[in-house]
Amino acid sequence: MRPSKSAISIAILLVIALHAVPVVSAPIRLRTWPFLEWTMYHNALPAGPVEADMRRLVAVTSSGREVPVDKNLAGVSRFVLIRQYMEPMQSGDSMVARDLLVRLNRERNDSFVEIRLKIETYSVTDTGLARKVQPVISYRNDSLLSR
């Protein structure tokens, strides 16, 4: 073999050998190729109960009638209804509830005076499905009652 072919062959063998370094060395293994910290496991959680919230909005009219608030009534998509209204209301943001009442009361004769957020938490455990009803979160706009 010519010297250039020998040098190329040695370089190829060296690159292949370097692939074994992460396998042999534990500290290097976590931060080098080919097995970086995979993003699919970045926010992994330990095994445990799986929980999901089922949120429902109900608007109450000045005459006392309850009307379920859905994407059609609110005039926004389900995603926007959850992200911009339900989640902030669940964390205690009363201004969002007021804004939603204003949005819902456009062109209505019997205006809404209260918004109720009903939350049910479902847990999947080894023993089955558990349902927990959270306290109802209510936001009332008393200025609409005086109309």
Give the pLDDT of the chain (147 residues) as one tens digit per residue: 566 888 999 999 988 887 776 667 666 555 555 545 555 655 666 777 788 999 999 999 888 899 999 999 888 999 999 999 999 999 988 899 999 999 998 888 888 999 999 999 999 888 888 899 999 999 998 654 444
Query: Would you state the pLDDT for residue 145?
Result: 45
Claim to verify: residue 94 and residue 138 sit in the same structural domain: yes
The answer to whether residue 42 sits within a structural domain is no
Query: Would you state the pLDDT for residue 146?
Result: 43
SS3 at position 32: coil
Query: Would you state the pLDDT for residue 118?
Result: 95
Claim to verify: residue 77 and residue 133 sit in the same structural domain: yes
Claim to verify: residue 84 and residue 140 sit in the same structural domain: yes
User: Kind and range of the H or E element at 118?
Assistant: strand 112-125
Query: Would you state the pLDDT for residue 10?
Result: 92
User: Which residue range is the domain that position 89 belongs to?
Assistant: 50-144
How many separate domains does the chain show? 2
Whole-angstrom distance, CA of residue 69 vs CA of residue 103:
11
Tell me whether the omega of the peptide bond preceding residue 34 falls within 30 degrees of 0, making it cis. Answer: yes
Claim to verify: residue 58 and residue 113 sit in the same structural domain: yes
How many other C-beta atoms can be found within 10 angstroms of the C-beta atom of residue 78? 11
Whole-angstrom distance, CA of residue 140 vs CA of residue 142:
6
